[in-house]
Each structure stands twice: as structure tokens, then as C-alpha cells.
């Protein structure tokens, strides 16, 4: 049987355009915002201190893509300004952040060094010239004290903080806030025309001509607009085209989009900020102890001040799994008999499509 018959040419001409970390060359409709960030950075060209910007807005509205695009442009323009980009979802402690900062300046001898020593190394390096620091998803940081040192001890710099939550800055420790004096910059959701424009441009890059039925594409535009999230549109584009390929069709039709949407609903993960406090607390413990046995995770939870008894904790774990925040895996027949491993689930925002 011809199980592996490929069924003709792929519909994707440039599939990388739908990778989650793909950086498009142009970022439409964000010129004003990028201009403001560029203006804040510009004094660094004269080795003067730049301004700090606090960027906020909902998920999938181009905050990351706009800032990264600007950094790319800056890199083309000059070697004199060091740029640091930290995703605080991935590097959520001061120590991890400093390791990342050291990586960026190619400092390799980080082993056995304390946080303060690492900070000194970064400080000395940056104080020779000028630097932009971008902390994306900054609200995920465990501890923001080092921001205070950064503001105080590093001179010619701009600090760009990005988050979904305007409240985060409102509630920021006043000691840091007063020194940071960041400009506020809001990214609003795209309107319908803009949503269509962004998705259309990506579609033209990724697919050959005449691959998409107009109504199929329009259904995706409407969905992304109602979700106010470009990412859901890109996800649907990829899924729908894959479904069309699977049935050996040369075109993506409305029915493919409908199947992709069903899948989206099935898989969509609730956002962590929809969780109530206790569950979020448990999730955070799981994240830090990902891959460990449930008993160990429970101990870590108690050590961190959690008060639930084990049974209740177990139920909470089950609930988090149902909501697809975490996954558990049963291991049978070990020395200790059956046990369950608990792993932090996929990233929240469909970034792994």
C-alpha cells in the first residue's frame, strides 16, 4: 500500500513564515509605536542616556515583533550600542537574567559566580559604551530588584519593559518606579482592516498564488479579529493548509478552516491569568519543579508556604491537567512502586504550532 504517497507539491512555499519565532521584515501598522521607541533609544547614539519605555497591550498585538524589528534595524545601523533582549518567561529569576545578559556580551566564565559578580561584569561592559535592555513579559520575573541596580549603576541605556498588564507598572515598587520614569506606550488591538492586512501579507509570503479560497481566508481574518490576536490567525492558517494538504487538495477551502477552528477550540489553553490565585501558585511550583515526582512537587509547595493537604493538592493537579496547563505521566514498577511525574505544560499562547 502506498502509505507514504506525498500527493503532489506542498501548499507551503515558505513554511518558516509560520514558525512561532519568525521575524517578518516589515511590521505594518506599528510605525508610530516604533517611532516612539526609536526616539527613546536615539540619545544612545551620542553616548547619552536614553529614555525608558513601558510597553503594554494584550496578547498577539505585535509588541514583541515591533521591538525586535527595531532592534534588528539598530543592529544594522551601529555596533556601538549593545542590545539585550530577555524573555522573562524563560529567564524568570535575577540569576537567569544575568546569565542571559552575560551570554549576550559573550562572557563565558559564569560558572560558580554569584549574582552580584555577574551584575558587575555586565555593568562594566555596558558602561564602556551604551546599551538597550529589553525585558519582554517582564511581569513573569520573580524578583525585580536588579532593575533598581540597572537603573542606578548602568549609565547610557534605555530600558524597554513589555507586558500584557498595565497594572504591573502601576503596582511597581515606588522606589523603582520613581527612578525608572518610563514613558507609557500602549499597543492597541488591530482593527479589522489591519488584522486582514497583517494576515494577508503573511499569506502572500508563505503560500504560492491561488492557494487560498477567498472565503477561507476571510473566515480566518474574522476569527483573529474577534480574538484580537494575530497569533490565532497564523495558527489557523497553518492548520487549515495542513488539513488541505492531507486531503491532497491544491487549495485551502472554507471547510479546511472550519476543521482547523474545531481543533483550535479543542486545544486552546486557558491563559494563566484566568486562574485563581491558589491554582496559579501551584502552577508556578510545578513550573519550577517540572518533571519531578508529585510527592516532591508537593513538598516544594509546602516549603513555599502552601497549605493544602496532599489530597486537595492532587485534585488541583488533576484540574490543572484538564485545563492543559500541565501534563502528568504515570511511572509504574519503579523501586518505589507507581508514581506520577508532573510536568509543566506547553507554553500558554499557541507559540508551539
Ligand X SMILES: Nc1ncnc2c1ncn2[C@@H]1O[C@H](COP(=O)(O)OP(=O)(O)OP(=O)(O)O)[C@@H](O)[C@H]1O
- CA–CA distance, 282 with 297 (Å, rounded to integer): 9
| Residue 61 near ligand X by CB under 6 A | yes
Contact stretch for ligand X (CB under 6 A) within 61-69, 97-105, 107-115, 302-310 = 61-69
Exactly one of 53, 71, 81, 230 binds ligand X (CB under 6 A); that residue is 230
Among 11, 27, 44, 99, binds ligand X (CB under 6 A): 27
Stretch that binds ligand X, among 21-29, 138-146, 252-260, 295-303 (CB under 6 A): 21-29
Residues in 142-171 that interact with ligand X by CB under 6 A: 164
- Among the listed residues 252, 320, 335, 258, the one whose alpha carbon sits nearest the alpha carbon of residue 285: 320
- The full length of the chain comes to 353
> Which of Mg ion, ligand X, none sits in contact with 198, Cβ below 5 to 8 A by type?
ligand X
Q: From Mg ion, ligand X, none, which one binds at residue 264 (CB under 5 to 8 Å depending on kind)?
A: none
Binding-site size, ligand X (CB under 6 A): 18
CA atoms within 13 A on the CB side of 307: 1
Q: Edge-to-edge strands of the sheet including 326-334?
A: 292-293, 337-344, 326-334
Cβ distance to Mg ion smaller for residue 135 or 301: 135
Residue 26 vs 331, nearer CB to ligand X: 26
> 119 or 353: whose CB is closer to ligand X?
353
Beta-carbon contacts of residue 327 (< 8 Å; ≥ 6 apart): 321, 342, 343, 345
Determine the Cα–Cα distance for residues 169 and 167; give it in Å rounded to an integer. 5
CA distances from 95 to 7, 141, 150, 287, 336 (A): 51, 11, 14, 17, 35
Find which of Mg ion, ligand X, none residue 185 binds, CB within 5 to 8 Å per kind: none
CB of 21 to Mg ion, least distance (A): 11
Give the footprint of Mg ion on residues 62-81 (CB under 5 A).
Answer: 64
Whole-number Å distance between alpha carbons of 138 and 133: 12
Strand segments (E) across the chain: 53-56, 81-87, 130-136, 157-163, 183-186, 292-293, 326-334, 337-344
Does 91 bind Mg ion (CB under 5 A)? Our answer is no
- Residues at the interface with ligand X (CB under 6 A): 24, 27-30, 59-65, 164, 198, 230-231, 234, 349
Amino acid at each position: 500500500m502506498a502509505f507514504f504517497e506525498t500527493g503532489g507539491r506542498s501548499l507551503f512555499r515558505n513554511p518558516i513564515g509560520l514558525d512561532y519565532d519568525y521575524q517578518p521584515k516589515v511590521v505594518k501598522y506599528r510605525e508610530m509605536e516604533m517611532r516612539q521607541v526609536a526616539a527613546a533609544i536615539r540619545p544612545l547614539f551620542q553616548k547619552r542616556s536614553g529614555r525608558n519605555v513601558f510597553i503594554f497591550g494584550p496578547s498577539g498585538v505585535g509588541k514583541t515583533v515591533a521591538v525586535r524589528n527595531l532592534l534588528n534595524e539598530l543592529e544594522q545601523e551601529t555596533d556601538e550600542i549593545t542590545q539585550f533582549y530577555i524573555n522573562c518567561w524563560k529567564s524568570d529569576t535575577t540569576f537567569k537574567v544575568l546569565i542571559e545578559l552575560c551570554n549576550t556580551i559573550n562572557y563565558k566564565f559564569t560558572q560558580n559566580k554569584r549574582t552580584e559578580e555577574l551584575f558587575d561584569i555586565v555593568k562594566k561592559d555596558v558602561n564602556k559604551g551604551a546599551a538597550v535592555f529589553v525585558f519582554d513579559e517582564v511581569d513573569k520575573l520573580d524578583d525585580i530588584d536588579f532593575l533598581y541596580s540597572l537603573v542606578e549603576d548602568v549609565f547610557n541605556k534605555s530600558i524597554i519593559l513589555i507586558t500584557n498588564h498595565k497594572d504591573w507598572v502601576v503596582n511597581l515598587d515606588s522606589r523603582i518606579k520613581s527612578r525608572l520614569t518610563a514613558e507609557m506606550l500602549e499597543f492597541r488591538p488591530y482593527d479589522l482592516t489591519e488584522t486582514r492586512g497583517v494576515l494577508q501579507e503573511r499569506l502572500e509570503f508563505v503560500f504560492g498564488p491561488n492557494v487560498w479560497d477567498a472565503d477561507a481566508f476571510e473566515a480566518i481574518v474574522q476569527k483573529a479579529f474577534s480574538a484580537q490576536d494575530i497569533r490565532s490567525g497564523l495558527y489557523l492558517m497553518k492548520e487549515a493548509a495542513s488539513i488541505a494538504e492531507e486531503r491532497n487538495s491544491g487549495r485551502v477551502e472554507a471547510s479546511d478552516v472550519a476543521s482547523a477552528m474545531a481543533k483550535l477550540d479543542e486545544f486552546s489553553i486557558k491563559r494563566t491569568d484566568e486562574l485563581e490565585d491558589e491554582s496559579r501558585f501551584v502552577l508556578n511550583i510545578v513550573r519550577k519543579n517540572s518533571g519531578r515526582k508529585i510527592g516532591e512537587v508537593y513538598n516544594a509547595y509546602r516549603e513555599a508556604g502552601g497549605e493544602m493537604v496532599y489530597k486537595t493538592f492532587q485534585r488541583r493537579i488533576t484540574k490543572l491537567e484538564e485545563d492543559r496547563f500541565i501534563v502528568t505521566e504515570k511511572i509504574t514498577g519503579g523501586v518505589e512502586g507507581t508514581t506520577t511525574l508532573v510536568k509543566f505544560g506547553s507554553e500558554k499562547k499557541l507559540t508551539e504550532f
